[in-house]
A and B are shown apart, each in its own frame.
Chain A
């Protein structure tokens, strides 16, 4: 009887200990997870740079004159469909990197002199987001990004012009998602 009681209390202790371990593990995980997501942030002061903001809008305006496809828009609310608030900055980061790598840098000999300055400004924003990741697998996010990339591809050169014409939207969406 005594041994039974002893083993019971022992197992109770065991359960408690395991619980404690799980809790600690969870807490540790949360603690490590938090800083990772908080890297998805751009300082507000980076969006208070009139010189670069004006250049970005001027470049977008110039490119938009050459874009007569008014029905198709790349950066809009559809991009966020099914995407949680906290993942939106990550999504915008991916689009920013796509824009820089696949469109702006290859096209950088065009739309001078604004292009050069806008590229350096956006590169700076992109570097602030270099360690921005998401915790989940982000299937939905990848799908939305893929849709945008495919639209750009389908439109050919018109697609790249469209990306440049929407740099002002990219900028505003980055601001709304990452500040």
Chain B
């Protein structure tokens, strides 16, 4: 009998009591079980939450989502509410700082996200964000993100590719996705060097669908030579991050017919 349902310890206790009394029908036993289960569950919740009364208000899944180094804090409403009528308060800090800073743009917001790009501009620095809710006069506890390092977590979009045929060769123009303005040391280095990115350009021979890497580097303009006249080629590119060995998705194919 012991160890059935989801509350093994409880069902053991209950079984002993019931056998002692020899009276409980199955229905009342189940009812008691569920009631006690509920009690235990709430006790557990109280043990975990610091503010028992508002525990269910606390925002859930607070985390940074980073794309092209744009770092957006996102969260979900507390478990018992759909979120209607709730306002949220956002704070952030760099790991190691004692003080949390208020994000004034997201102080009392009803949105479920907050753009912290400008507050998290140092690529290699670890940051934290946290969110609190208020609803009908009561406040939740803070929900904090895991430690967030933009350089490690961001996902890059593919580069934009333009092709221009020039006297039998092909000029490929590459543009990185829009990356946040760097107000620190990066001013005299190129975006590519600052973010430690390289472009990879591939040429696909349309006739045989054979792909070849034509270029890897930080230049935004690449000339591809040695193409056969009156043949069709497609160009596709990606952004590669050498230190992490990660690549962006591929750009759209740009196809041309050589004159």
Whether both chains belong to one complex is answered with: yes
Residues 31-54 of chain A, each 1 if its beta carbon lies under 8 Å from chain B, else 0: 000000000000000011011011
Number of residues of chain B lying within 8 A (CB) of chain A? 18
CB pair A71–B96 under 8 Å, yes or no, is: yes
CB pair B147–A72 under 8 Å, yes or no, is: no
> Which residues of B lie under 8 Å from residue A57 when comparing CB positions?
149, 152
CB pair A50–B149 under 8 Å, yes or no, is: no
Closest partner residue, chain B, to A53 (CB atom): B243
CB pair B244–A53 under 8 Å, yes or no, is: yes
> Which residues of A lie under 8 Å from residue B146 when comparing CB positions?
61, 64-65
CB pair A73–B96 under 8 Å, yes or no, is: yes
Within the assembled complex, what's the spacing in Å between the Cα atoms of A112 and B54? Answer: 38
CB pair A76–B242 under 8 Å, yes or no, is: no
CB pair A48–B126 under 8 Å, yes or no, is: no
CB pair A71–B243 under 8 Å, yes or no, is: no
A-B contacts besides A53-B243, A57-B152, A169-B124, 7 pairs, CB < 8 Å: A47-B243, A54-B244, A61-B147, A67-B147, A70-B144, A71-B96, A168-B152
Residues 60-79 of chain A, each 1 if its beta carbon lies under 8 Å from chain B, else 0: 01001101001111001000
> Which residues of A lie under 8 Å from residue B245 when comparing CB positions?
50-51, 53-54
Interface presence of B128 (CB below 8 A) = yes
Contact of A71 among B97, B124, B147, B246 (CB under 8 A): B97
CB pair B95–A70 under 8 Å, yes or no, is: yes
Interface presence of B98 (CB below 8 A) = yes
Instruction: Report A178 CB to chain B, min CB distance, Å.
Output: 15
Within the assembled complex, what's the spacing in Å between the Cα atoms of A169 and B152? Answer: 11
Interface presence of B67 (CB below 8 A) = no
> Which residues of A lie under 8 Å from residue B246 when comparing CB positions?
50
> Which residues of A lie under 8 Å from residue B93 when comparing CB positions?
70
17 chain-A/chain-B pairs, Cβ below 8 angstroms = A47-B243, A50-B242, A50-B243, A50-B245, A51-B245, A61-B146, A61-B147, A64-B146, A65-B146, A67-B147, A70-B93, A70-B147, A73-B95, A73-B96, A168-B126, A168-B149, A169-B126
- What's the count of A-B pairs with C-beta under 8 Å? 44
Dominant SS among interface residues on chain A: helix
Closest partner residue, chain A, to B97 (CB atom): A71
Instruction: Report A111 CB to chain B, min CB distance, Å.
Output: 16
Contact of A172 among B98, B124, B128 (CB under 8 A): B124
Contact of B147 among A47, A51, A165 (CB under 8 A): A165
CB pair B96–A72 under 8 Å, yes or no, is: yes
Within the assembled complex, what's the spacing in Å between the Cα atoms of A88 and B208? Answer: 55
> Which residues of A lie under 8 Å from residue B243 when comparing CB positions?
47-48, 50, 53
Q: A133-179: which residues lie under 8 A (CB-CB) from chain B?
A: 165, 168-169, 172
Instruction: Give 9 closest A-B pairs by Cβ, nearest first.
Output: A50-B245, A73-B96, A64-B147, A71-B98, A172-B124, A57-B152, A76-B96, A70-B128, A50-B244
CB pair B96–A48 under 8 Å, yes or no, is: no
Give the residue among B97, B146, B147, B244 with the most A Cβ atoms within 10 A: B147
Q: B92-122: which residues lie under 8 A (CB-CB) from chain A?
A: 93, 95-98
Residues 70-93 of chain A, each 1 if its beta carbon lies under 8 Å from chain B, else 0: 111100100000000000000000
> Which residues of A lie under 8 Å from residue B98 when comparing CB positions?
71
Within the assembled complex, what's the spacing in Å between the Cα atoms of A64 and B96? Answer: 13
Residues 213-253 of chain B, each 1 if its beta carbon lies under 8 Å from chain A, else 0: 00000000000000000000000000000111110000000
Residues 48-61 of chain B, each 1 if its beta carbon lies under 8 Å from chain A, else 0: 00000000000000
> Which residues of A lie under 8 Å from residue B244 when comparing CB positions?
50, 53-54
> Which residues of A lie under 8 Å from residue B242 when comparing CB positions?
48, 50
> Which residues of A lie under 8 Å from residue B97 when comparing CB positions?
71
